Structure 1
Amino acid sequence: MTAPAPALRTGTAAGRGTLLAATLASGMVFLDATVVNVALPRLGAELRATVAGLQWTINGYLLMLAAFVLLGGALGDRFGRRRVFLLGVVWFAGASLLCGLAQGTGWLIAARFLQGAGGALLTPGSLSVLQASFHPDDRGKAIGIWAGLSGVSTALGPLLGGWLIDTLSWRWIFFINLPLAVAVVLAALRWVPESRDEAASRGGGRRFDVTGALLGALGLGGVTYALIDAPARGVRSLPVLLALLVGVVAAVAFVLVERRRGDAAMLPTGLFTSRLFSALNVFTVVVYAALGGFTFFLAVYLQNVVGWSAMLTGLATVPMTVLLAAGSSRAGALSARIGPRLPLTVGPVVAAVGLLLLRRVGPGASYWVDVLPGVVLFGAGLTLVVAPLTASVLAAVADRYAGVASGFNNAASRAGGLLAVAALPLLVGLSGSGYEQKAQLTDAFRGAMLWCAGLLLAGAAMAALLIHRPEREAPPAQPCPSLPASTPPERRR
């Protein structure tokens, strides 16, 4: 059971302070997720990075976050949610400082790996401290406020980041985390109560599955390295084949270890006896792969080919975030009435049409005529997907697995983006300094949008054939924080 903590109310100073700490902390993570893509052309030019360097700048962070986010949640349950949350904030801030000071691509990539590890401690902590600290009557409201404000930071992030890149330097998208982290630490020390799972603290709860986390990271890392290194070394080169072999063997070992550990596993394999849960998570990987590939290529293309500033590039995707924030609750309500199959089928098709429209964007393109229609369609399609997907994942498993199901779906979304960023440049023939060559980047961008549209259509076909209405409703107040504004929890009545 969870150790009793003061039952905070949203109208009190302690309640507002706890919300401030959780929202600012998650805002740092979501800001990084949306801004770094916009900075890729500038940091790539300054550090003389290759396409592989840009890929690892994104994927080093995603790899650590996807592999260790479940372990981060377990550490909070055992050692104290506020303590691990604060450790994650300080770790994330320190890694951000290293990112901003980077003098070479290798330095930046190593710092991004460290930043992802800090994010794996911070991301589950920002939500778990709210879940554990607030009175049940105010818990849904508190998480709803957190989701809404985090959504605002996600929407404003590209604009703020673009302004920092244009006005100061790409380094300031990392330095800005330092004052935010100081504010979080002060607020958490002043107002956030400590809480923990007493059974886990005494050693009677679920043991840490460090082996599973490491094997998961090694499996994702091996496959990612093979995909990123293949254009430079050749698909049949020994390092690429060896990395691929290590990744596959680690992935198989991960499945065997988790099966043997049963309910004590980081990812209990019994979850996958639900065909609906399995199908939904494969669907998640496919759809978020399209999202990750789209955001990676669009930011570089708009700056290096179309000739836009970083700020205007950041502005380009704001309508997508606004649609997610404004429409996801309605999409969730629609799914509750008619079931998830139709939204999860129609949404990817609409998003795919948006990506196909964006293939016509070229030098001198108009934002209103050439870019906005595609972005709006993509955002509208994604809006139909995210809330129904999250609710269906939670409803596909027993209540006691709601936390791990939400966490795994979060990791699956990040893994999808990770694999897309690793694979797409190989598939479209972009390598070396090709992202600085307009003709080569144009061909690669149009090919990537075609691949991403194909992924979305494959997801739509999967939803039509394999996804059905869950037999039970999702438990309240268990949102998946991949896209915070798009998965608002139901308030307790």
Structure 2
Amino acid sequence: MTILDGNIVTVAMPAIQSDLGFSGPGLAWVVNAYLIPFGGLLLLVGRLGDLVGRKRMFTAGLAVFTAASVLCGVATSQGMLIAARALQGMGGAMTAAVVLGMLIALFPEPREQAKAIAVFSAVGAAGGALGTFLGGALTQALNWHWIFLINLPIGVVAWLAALRVLAPDRGAGLGKGADYPGAALVTGALMLTVYAIVGAADRGLGVTLLLAAVSLALFVSFTLRQARAERPLLRLRLFRSRLLTGANGVQILMIATMFGFQYVGALYIQRVLGYGELMTGTAFLPAPILIGVLMLGLSARTIGHFGPYRVLLAGLVLITAGMALLSRAPVEGSYVTDVLPPMLLLSAGFAAAMPAVTGLAMSGVLEEDAGLASGLFNTTQVVGGSLGLAVLTTLAASRTDGLLGQGEPLVAATADGYRLAFTVGTGIAVAGLALAAAALRPGRTPSPEPSEPAESGAGESRAEAYR
């Protein structure tokens, strides 16, 4: 539900714009108002989940998200919708930041943990892929308000189930690690980073670089504070884990590729192949179906047999192949021959790679840091997706505008812009594959730090068990 709401508005944008009178640039804030708090707050609320209890944070986030969805659904003005979307992003961050830490605690045994992560990844992937279809279907059958109101019954059922099923956990207590000045620095840095990325296409290069420089300064200030703080928000020892650091880097590149495919692919189907809103959403249905079948039916067993490293590399090879096929998307193309085969390759690759990279990232984390590591992992998802969208859509639009200025027909210029985006997406996928091969290879476990032998040994033994 939380992942789905990041992109369910995409197909409904024209209806929202017509109803509430958004300008072209203003309409983008229906998406951005959700992504910025979602990405910016993940690290903070992940740590707070470790301190106050993950169940409390999870159920509170569900309540906030569901209430905000209702406010979005009844919005009658631009300001009300944007404010409600920002509140939705806050609630989504509160739930997403702690869920991986909850899974690690619930399923400590490596084989069961791999199955749980596969189910979690399948549900998340289905949410992302179904957003385009449901947005078109609900908008066409009813109206755009229902893309948000549908969350009310789902949210209520999930909240009641969480109260009943999840075991209570007390957390470490706010007195053990609530570095609020550090929280302000990192939250501001993350929000500014996401803001700079999602709005890059509408700003000049100079403004974007200035925002990036300010964001970098905030990150440096936060890092310096964490190194000296008595009770740091983010224990820098997390980054001693090669698995956690490498897996987050791989995920940024992989998610950038997949988000680029989903968004630019939908535009290609609509603007080059000429599909309508509902048909575009329907054209994407094979992706969540294949991802769900492979993740739930084969992912855990495949990882158990071959190991997550090999499965991750195989998945990234499939993703690279799918993007390479899309890079030849012709003007006189066909969905069956030019879109469906690469979509199936991308879906199969993602179904293999996502559970593997998730398990590798969390396997090197201590139990007490699981919520924080979960927030970090989800943060890199948002940053990767935003980065992929910003880079690929900007390149596509620039190439199309240049060709139109040279007198090229609209459809041909548009298709050429999308081919460039898919080609660059292929390069990003290759970079992710190279990083995974170099950074996540088994058997390169570092020696424990002398100052923390017990904790480091515990984290590494769990990593070895998962590998």
Number of the residue aligned with 1:160:
134
- For 1:214, the aligned partner's letter is A
Q: Distance in 2 between matches of 1:339 and 1:146?
A: 17
Distance 1:53 1:356, change over 3 A: farther
Q: Distance in 2 between matches of 1:77 and 1:225?
A: 27
Q: Contact 1:64 / 1:120 at 8 angstroms: preserved in 2?
A: yes
**1:155-184 residue CA offsets vs partner (Å, 9 max, x unmatched):** 655443331122122332112112323344
Number of the residue aligned with 1:214:
184
Taking the TM superposition and a 5 Å limit, the aligned residue runs for 1:110-189 are: 110-124=83-97, 147=120, 150=123, 154=127, 158-187=132-161
Number of the residue aligned with 1:482:
none
1:447 aligned onto 2:432: no
Shift in Å, 1:207: 2.4
Number of the residue aligned with 1:65:
38
Shift in Å, 1:417: 0.8
Q: Which of 270, 273, 296 is residue 306 of structure 1 equivalent to?
A: 273
Query: Identity of aligned pairs, percent?
Result: 35
1:384 aligned onto 2:352: yes
Aligned Cα root-mean-square deviation (Å): 4.1
- For 1:58, the aligned partner's letter is V
Distance 1:380 1:270, change over 3 A: same
Q: Distance in 1 between matches of 2:226 and 2:372?
A: 13
- For 1:453, the aligned partner's letter is T
Q: Which of 249, 269, 290 is residue 257 of structure 2 equivalent to?
A: 290
Q: Distance in 2 between matches of 1:178 and 1:322?
A: 24
Number of the residue aligned with 2:69:
96
Could you tell which deviates more after superposition, 399-408 or 459-468? Answer: 399-408
Distance 1:126 1:384, change over 3 A: closer
Could you tell which deviates more after superposition, 45-54 or 447-456? Answer: 45-54
Shift in Å, 1:68: 1.9
Q: Contact 2:47 / 2:371 at 8 angstroms: preserved in 1?
A: no
Number of the residue aligned with 1:373:
341
1:235 aligned onto 2:205: yes
Structure 2 residues without counterparts, runs of 5 or longer: 403-409, 446-459
Number of the residue aligned with 2:407:
none
Shift in Å, 1:197: 1.9
Q: Distance in 2 between matches of 1:293 and 1:59?
A: 16
Distance 1:440 1:171, change over 3 A: farther
Q: Which of 269, 289, 314 is residue 322 of structure 1 equivalent to?
A: 289
Number of the residue aligned with 1:394:
362
Task: Find the residue that maps to 1:39 and give its secondary structure.
Answer: helix
Number of the residue aligned with 1:279:
246
- For 2:90, the aligned partner's letter is A
**1:73-126 residue CA offsets vs partner (Å, 9 max, x unmatched):** 444454455544343223212322343345666654443222110111223466
Q: Distance in 2 between matches of 1:186 and 1:33?
A: 23
Q: Contact 1:392 / 1:474 at 8 angstroms: preserved in 2?
A: no
Structure 1 residues without counterparts, runs of 5 or longer: 1-27, 477-488
Task: Find the residue that maps to 1:468 and give its secondary structure.
Answer: coil
Could you tell which deviates more after superposition, 206-215 or 166-175? Answer: 206-215
Number of the residue aligned with 2:220:
252
Aligned length: 441
- For 1:345, the aligned partner's letter is L
Could you tell which deviates more after superposition, 97-106 or 376-385? Answer: 97-106
Q: Distance in 2 between matches of 1:112 and 1:431?
A: 32
- For 1:120, the aligned partner's letter is A
Number of the residue aligned with 2:377:
409
Q: Contact 2:103 / 2:117 at 8 angstroms: preserved in 1?
A: no
Distance 1:261 1:468, change over 3 A: farther
Q: Contact 2:70 / 2:152 at 8 angstroms: preserved in 1?
A: yes
Shift in Å, 1:447: 2.1
Shift in Å, 1:427: 3.3
Number of the residue aligned with 1:21:
none
Q: Which of 5, 9, 12 is residue 39 of structure 1 equivalent to?
A: 12
Shift in Å, 1:450: 1.6
TM-score by length of 2: 0.78
Q: Which of 319, 322, 327 is residue 351 of structure 1 equivalent to?
A: 319
Distance 1:411 1:46, change over 3 A: same
- For 2:244, the aligned partner's letter is F
1:200 aligned onto 2:173: yes
Q: Distance in 2 between matches of 1:409 and 1:169?
A: 35
Could you tell which deviates more after superposition, 324-333 or 42-51? Answer: 42-51
